[in-house]
Amino acid sequence: MSLRINDIAPDFQADTTQGTIRFHEWIGDGWAILFSHPKDFTPVCTTELGYMARLAPEFAQRNCKVIGLSVDPVDSHLKWEKDIEETQGHAVNYPMIGDPDLAIAKLYDMLAAEEAGTSEGRTAATNQTVRSVFVVGPDKKIKLNLTYPMTTGRNFHEILRVLDSMQLTAQHKVATPVNWQDGEEVIIVPAVSDAEAKEKYPAGWRTVKPYLRYVAQPGKE
Q: Which of 45, 97, 168, 215 is catalytic?
A: 45
Distance CA 207, CA 12 (A): 47
**Amino acid identity for residue 211 in this structure:** Y
Catalytic residue check, 64: no
Q: How many CB atoms lie within 10 A of CB 79?
A: 12
Classify each residue of 24-51 as buried b or exposed e, where b means 16 or more C-beta atoms within 10 Å of its C-beta.
eebbeeebbbbbbbbbbebebbbebbbb
Cα torsion through 36, 37, 40, 43, rounded to 10:
-150
User: Radius of gyration over alpha carbons of the chain, in Å?
Assistant: 20
CA–CA separation, 63 vs 54, rounded Å? 16
Kind of pairing between the strands at 212-215 and 186-188? antiparallel
Residues 6+ apart with CB under 8 A from 57: none
Q: Which residues are catalytic?
A: 45
